[in-house]
Structure 1
Amino acid sequence: MLLSLATTQGAIAPPVRTFARRSNLPLLPNQLWQIHSGVVRTLTWTEAGEVVTLGLWGPGDVLGIPLSSADPLQAECVTEVVARSLQPQDWPQVTDALLRHARQTEELLSMVRSGPVQATLIQVLNWLAQRFGNEHDHGRRIALRITHQELADLVGSTRVTVTKLLSTLERQGFIHRHQRQIVVRPDRTPFWHYEI
């Protein structure tokens, strides 16, 4: 449930802000962000400096420090994002979004722990196509311009490995590229086996 952009019973609606692609949402200890449009990637990094993607969040989703134990935590806009700042008194109004946050975190964790990198990548591509995709002539187009490095961070691999695996999946006809975006062909064999 998105909080209404209008005021309710004389209460002032929390401010809505627009963030440019690749900018960061400011994160504060007692604040959540509810996304109205766009996609945000939450991430942290290891002591060795390796980036770990914690989630991808879209319209209706809620994110912020109170929902994460990761330290440090960063929220990077994958696309242009319109989001509303939520203070603690607003949180009861977004219970459904908070539950979705927990379920999505669990889904991503189970995918990353699914075995070989190729199996993980296939699951993540299918998940991205379902979550952030739209119908296309040849399947489901992931409506994000996600880089090979961002995919690698998401599946816990290297950019080189992900690039090679994407090329292999494309050669085998399981995916194809359309205007710098990936089209997943769920009717083709590995995606049928790895549906979430």
Structure 2
Amino acid sequence: MTRAAPADVPGILAAEPAVVLAARLTGLLGAAGSALDRSADMLRLPSGGHVYTPGRHDPHLYLVRAGRVKTAAVTRQGRTCLLDIHGRYDIFGESCLLEPVRDTEAVAMAPSELVRIPLAAFLDALATGPAYEESLRFLVGRLAEQRQRITQLVTRTSEQRLATVLLGLSRKLGEGHERHRRIDQRITQEELAQLVGTTRSRVGHFLKKFRAGGLVHRAPGHTLIVDEPRLRAYAETTGS
């Protein structure tokens, strides 16, 4: 399997650990004879298609080449809790490093194209050196993200957490200038509520407040426009 390294990585994402690792892995995928090139394959999914489901034995990592994928925890009662949304150049599925049987689900939010990387080939790339440093930075970065989320649940209001979530989605999924970042992917208020840890009604109330303050705007369709500097300043000062 041969793929060119991503030359169109947006500048705002260029230093993100997942993007740096994605660039390295994509380069290895394009190296004839490499273990990754021999073993990785392309997975194309329609909107709503499952990458994996709870209980499935799936020792793979996934690199998003196009589209959007959400990961969620699912209870025995069938309730879901949205964990994250992954856009182009992001990597997910790293929990297989600990346990190859999935305890979460991953679902395409739009027609998506993924590179499916077997765990054994990924570990081989680490052992032989080419992706070692990038992989460590990626994994430590994911741990730091989770620690930050837990800290915010205790130290920040739900309004501040929503602002932070929107900033993160704008950075990962948005396009355009920082004062006019367009998120074209439809994300429901219920999904935002799950990411924030609050109710849908509270999210609706805060979004209305953000729009009134010029921090976000709705465009035709499902597009949300985020003014990142103003929203960041608001998140840092609200409730302080």
Tell me the TM-score normalized by structure 2. 0.68
Q: Is the 8 A contact 1:55 1:105 kept in 2?
A: no
Q: In structure 2, give the amino acid aligned to 1:44.
A: A
Structure 2 residue runs of 5 or longer lacking an equivalent are: 1-23, 126-130
Distance in structure 2 (CA, Å) of the matches to 1:52 and 1:102: 23
Q: Is the 8 A contact 2:74 2:105 kept in 1?
A: no
Cα drift, residue 19 of structure 1 = 0.7
Question: 1:106: which partner in 2?
Answer: 144
Q: Is the 8 A contact 1:21 1:79 kept in 2?
A: yes
Question: 1:8: which partner in 2?
Answer: 32
Whether 1:184 and 2:226 are equivalent positions in the alignment is yes
Cα drift, residue 132 of structure 1 = 1.3
Q: Which range moved further: 67-76 or 127-136?
A: 67-76
Distance in structure 2 (CA, Å) of the matches to 1:81 and 1:143: 15
Distance in structure 2 (CA, Å) of the matches to 1:172 and 1:108: 29
Pair 1:39–1:100, CA change in 2 (3 A): farther
Look up the SS of the partner of 2:81 in the other structure. Answer: strand
Greater strand fraction, Structure 1 or Structure 2: 1
Tell me the TM-score normalized by structure 1. 0.81
Greater helix fraction, Structure 1 or Structure 2: 2
Percent identity at matched positions?
23
What pairs with 1:56-75 in structure 2 (closer than 5 Å)? 56-64=85-93, 65-67=95-97, 72-75=103-106
CA RMSD of aligned residues (A): 2.9
Question: 1:31: which partner in 2?
Answer: 60
Structure 1 residue runs of 5 or longer lacking an equivalent are: none
Question: 1:87: which partner in 2?
Answer: 118
Give the aligned length: 194
Instruction: Please point out which of 77, 83, 86 is paired with 1:54.
Output: 83
Question: 1:130: which partner in 2?
Answer: 171
Alpha-carbon displacement from aligned partner over 1:128-173 (angstroms, at most 9, x marks no partner): 1112111159521223221111111111122222112111211121
Q: Is the 8 A contact 2:39 2:121 kept in 1?
A: no
Whether 1:170 and 2:211 are equivalent positions in the alignment is yes
Q: Is the 8 A contact 2:39 2:118 kept in 1?
A: no
Cα drift, residue 126 of structure 1 = 1.0
